[in-house]
Amino acid sequence: MARFKENDLPKSKITASSLNKATLIFKYADTHRWKFYVGLVFLLLTGATALAFPKLMGMLIDSVKNKSYSDANNIALLLIGILFMQSIFSFFRLSLFINFTEHTLANLRLSLYSNLVKLPMSFFSQKRVGELNSRISSDITQIQDTLTSTIAEFLRQLILIVGGVALLATESIKLTLLMLSVVPLVAVAAVVFGRFIRKFSKSVQDQVAESQVIVEETMQGISIVKAFANEWYEIARYDGKIKEVVKLAIKGGKYRGYFASFIIFCLFGAIVAVVWFGVRLSISGEMSVGQLISFVLYSTFVGASFGGIAELYAQIQKAIGATERVFELLEETPEKINSKQNTSSIKKIKGNVTFKNVAFSYPSRKEIKVLKNVNFTANFGQKIAIVGPSGTGKSTIASLLLRFYDIDSGEILIDGKNIYDLELENLRGNMSIVPQDVILFGGTIRENIAYGKPDATEEEILVAAKQANAFNFIEGFPEKFETIVGERGIKLSGGQRQRIAIARALLKNPSILILDEATSSLDSESEKLVQEALEILMQGRTSIIIAHRLSTIRSADQILVLDNGEITEQGTHQELIALENGKYKNLSNLQFTDF
């Protein structure tokens, strides 16, 4: 997979609107805003001292003509003083800008992340995780680089161009006009040519990356390659890509050769032209040798600044674009959830659930009705099972109960209250879900169990682990509860992950429990252990069980058969089995023909 590069960040045109949006970043500076403004003062002082340097160098050279040791000594000391001041100003400029940037971006990162995690599921169903990661990494890094150095460097180069040209004019108007007609044009041409070379080099790097993808794919699927005896095919594929790389690289080498020739002849030729004309003016007595030296140094400053400012402007455009994309996310409306833990605000509900004529379609697929007029009631302590073919809306019922999405019509009631009249945090604080594909975080087993109740005591975590049939396998690990589970729990088996998820749900002690095909992907032994743990978990609370394996729901108080978004059958296992040509009976016959 191609890695996202900062160089690929899109630019944004710098307009009054985009600049206004970019300046919003200063509100995240909090009490550190003054550091930016003081840094600008030091930046101006740095530019001023830099402009004084060529003038003093010219005066130092002219002291030869006067044959004055005292003048030479005084000017040399003044130059050293200027350099010392410039180094001090540069230190404070950098320190202040970095200090301002780091505090500002820390606040921005926290605000962005806080807003992201509180956005509704409808937002995440339409966005890629990679894109969101890019916002919080590449875009923020681009802003960081710009605030730390790019803006300062851009302003510094601008000061050197404006100040340099003004001081050049004081030395010689004729020479200044020649310099302005030649050096900046050549410098800008060099930048444009250089950018073309870099783009070409990037295309070569992309081709090399594509060739590496072939190697990676081949190594990962080596068993398939060998099984089909297709080594020759992979070699030919890699050979073709390598030849493309060579062809492009040779072409790029020629362009770099042209660029080197251009730099040698045009850029240095322009400098020679300026010096030649300056020498002629010196010979004619229109300027001194010291003035000529000052002029050449100022010309170098101006030429280099012309060359650098175009690239800096492009970086600022990228930063403006990055800022706009970050603020787009910050402007998204989050769910009403606290940013800090507030367990005291969670009021216990009993757990009676009622769906009344509920209809729903996903925001991204409005034309497809996932649920149509769904009606059912789950009273406190009951086990309600939902079965049916894949894609009929079983998991959608769980998502609606958790208010991941808003329903199109109908009502969902909990303890007789409309679900939308309950505080979202209080609603979800009374629910737990054990999904089929358990997601664990990359920390320890203790941390993953405690996720159900972050302020849980050691004793509560141990009890939850024992009730979930997880204690024995946890104690079998050398690090016990401190065992690192790995990314998404990869170091644990499927059954172990399920039991950690059950322990997590037990610790939360929910009033409503949702089991979303919690045992469908387990082997028989793991399923037995998990099922025992689930029986303990379901005691004394309302349970909504979404199941494929009908053997796990025979004891359910009520079974709902969902087909094409509608409840077509409803009753106990025995009642549904007794129905002639019933959907549940057919599903049951298919699963139990071998028993």
Q: Is the pTM of this model over 0.85?
A: no
Measured between its terminal Cα atoms, the distance across the chain in Å is 47
Q: Is residue 249 part of a domain?
A: yes
Are 52 and 158 within one domain?
A: yes
Are 254 and 274 within one domain?
A: yes
**Could you say which of 249, 271, 286 is where a domain stops?**
286
* CA distances to 178, 200, 294, 304 from 262, in Å: 20, 17, 26, 16
Radius of gyration of the chain (CA): 36
Are 92 and 167 within one domain?
A: yes
Are 34 and 157 within one domain?
A: yes
- Taking the CB of residue 156, how many other CB atoms lie within 10 A of it? 22
| pLDDT for residue 2 | 39
Are 47 and 131 within one domain?
A: yes
Report how far residue 289's alpha carbon sits from residue 66's, in angstroms, rounded to the nearest whole number: 12
| pLDDT for residue 1 | 38
Q: Is residue 384 part of a domain?
A: yes
Looking at the 3D structure of the chain, how many domains does it have? 3
Range of the domain at 359: 342-430+546-595
Report how far residue 298's alpha carbon sits from residue 304's, in angstroms, rounded to the nearest whole number: 10
Are 36 and 141 within one domain?
A: yes
Tokens standing for 556?
A: 């359910």
Are 320 and 242 within one domain?
A: no
Q: Is residue 2 part of a domain?
A: no
Low-confidence ranges of the chain (pLDDT < 50): 1-7, 594-595
DSSP string computed for 75-104: HHHHHHHHHHHHHHHHHHHHHHHHHHHHHH
Cβ atoms of residues 351 and 430 within 8 Å: yes
Q: Sort 125 into a burial class: Cβ within 10 Å, 0-12 / 13-18 / 19+.
A: middle
Report how far residue 371's alpha carbon sits from residue 584's, in angstroms, rounded to the nearest whole number: 19
Are 112 and 189 within one domain?
A: no
**Could you say which of 268, 303, 335 is where a domain stops?**
335
Three-state DSSP class for residue 156:
helix
Are 271 and 419 within one domain?
A: no
Report how far residue 317's alpha carbon sits from residue 452's, in angstroms, rounded to the nearest whole number: 45
Are 180 and 135 within one domain?
A: no
Are 201 and 235 within one domain?
A: yes
The CATH number of residue 348's host domain is 3.40.50.300
Q: Is residue 449 part of a domain?
A: no
Are 55 and 92 within one domain?
A: yes
At 294-327, the pLDDT tens digits run: 777 777 777 677 666 767 777 777 777 778 778 8
* 444 DSSP assignment: B
Q: Give the residues across from 376 on adjacent strands.
A: 355
Report how far residue 245's alpha carbon sits from residue 229's, in angstroms, rounded to the nearest whole number: 27
Cβ atoms of residues 428 and 402 within 8 Å: yes
Pick from 478, 488, 489, 548: nearest CA to 517: 548
Alpha helices in 221-288, H assignment, sequence order:
222-227, 231-262, 268-283
The CATH number of residue 48's host domain is 1.20.1560.10
Tokens standing for 302?
A: 């101006």
Q: Is residue 257 part of a domain?
A: yes
Alpha helices in 24-68, H assignment, sequence order:
33-66
| pLDDT for residue 574 | 82
Degrees, nearest 5: CA angle 591-594-595? 95
